[in-house]
Amino acid sequence: LNVCGHNEERTITTYVPCLKSFDHLVRIWTRNCTDGRKLCQTYKHKTEYYQTNEPVLKKIQIIVYTCCEGYTRNINDIGCPIGSFQCQPGRFGSKCEYYCHQCEYGICNWRMQRCECRAGYKGTFCNETCQRGEYGVQCMRRCYCKFDTTESCSVENGTCECSPGYEGPDCGRPCSYKTFGKNCRYSCSCTSNQICHHITGSCHDKRPTCQTECQCENGTRCTHGICDCTPGWHGKNCELRCPQGTYGKRCTHSCNCLNGGDSCERGWYGQGCGNRCDCLNGATCDHRNGQCICGMGRTGRKCEHECDNFTWGSMCSNRCNCGLDSPCEHDTGKCRCKAGKTGVKCEEDCPINTYGVGCQPCRCQSFHICDLVTGDCKCKEGWKGESCQFQMSADDPGKPERGDSFKKE
């Protein structure tokens, strides 16, 4: 929890094998006598070898873990929970991984590490509109409107916009006596012996004789000679389907699709949701015009192109912030370090005895080191082999000079 690691250089004492020698005289028999004898003794120089361990100072890289900037800890704490971490201006997120320009319908609060959405929007980037029945900041509140008699609920403040013929805070009350229509603002022209329909304003006798047969269609209920159309139908006898782009009770709701949904199903767009999206690589398309909405790290009309090595994010609009011309991940912007490099921005060499992409462990034996990029072992004097695992004898003709190395096959 809030713990960061960094490389530190330490000097330690290690012991390395060292081959030493000494000369001494040994007595031998010889036929090269100077006094005329056939066999006599003489002395000869002989070199003897022995191995010892010598102390050597060695610099190593170790990873030291401390509290991240802005955090502290008590003795018994796990991690570093104490602090008030803040992103740099222009970034937000729990790890400061997002940029403020990604915050669409909100205010970027880099101090609090989040995009603060304005009422009616939600999501990490405040780019998601509240769904039907939701409103307010982060769409956390529920509308209390009667949805059968409501056209819409304001995503900002939850105010109900009533369907024609209804009024009240929740649109649950039919228009009062002698009014009808949208917001009940129209006056009826019926006589005193007639009833005014609260939606259409049509006039009907107060005292029906029940001598006229109802003509309602499509499963509609008839009340005192008035057809109460089921959702999706309208007309005097409910004989007409809702016009294109409308749905619901008396066709009072506007829609994008024929089925009354907020948008077409994934992969379809256009009038009646009759056109299939042609986007690639899992991208979605705008349900109105079919324009492809590429995921992070993709671009092109059909999202067919991956960001180049030095750009990332939505429509590849961000530049990688990596050192030494290192590329970055197309979707997150995380640096992809070249062989032998590490660090957030690839600004550091791999620790000793590691190499290559991702700083893999070297295979060299003991105190030998390897090349940062290739991993080839650089054997110390007196050693050989792919991993410097063989010690050479003193008279080995293949004895390498200091600095020689043996490459992996």
Q: Does 99 reside within a domain?
A: yes
Q: Does 243 reside within a domain?
A: no
Same domain, 60 and 94: no
Q: Does 127 reside within a domain?
A: yes
Torsion 2-8-13-18 (CA) sign: positive
Q: Does 361 reside within a domain?
A: yes
Domain residues for the domain of 97 are 86-139
Q: Digits of tens for pLDDT over the chain (409 positions)?
A: 667 777 888 888 888 888 888 888 888 888 888 888 888 888 888 888 888 888 888 888 888 777 765 555 666 666 665 554 556 667 777 667 777 778 888 888 766 667 888 889 988 888 888 888 889 888 888 888 887 788 889 998 999 999 888 999 999 889 887 899 899 999 888 887 888 888 888 887 765 556 667 778 877 777 666 777 877 788 878 888 787 767 667 777 666 444 445 566 777 787 767 788 888 888 888 777 788 888 788 888 888 888 888 888 877 878 888 876 788 888 888 888 888 888 888 888 888 888 988 888 888 887 788 888 888 988 888 888 888 888 887 666 554 443 344 443 3
Same domain, 46 and 17: yes
Quote the number of domains for the chain.
Answer: 3
Structure tokens at 145: 């409107």
Same domain, 348 and 398: yes
Same domain, 344 and 409: yes
Q: Does 228 reside within a domain?
A: no
Same domain, 40 and 10: yes
Distance from C-alpha of 300 to C-alpha of 283, rounded to nearest angstrom: 11
Distance from C-alpha of 136 to C-alpha of 133, rounded to nearest angstrom: 11
Task: Please report the DSSP string for 55-75 in residue order.
Answer: EEEEEEEEEEEEEPTTEE--T
Q: Does 408 reside within a domain?
A: yes
Same domain, 44 and 109: no
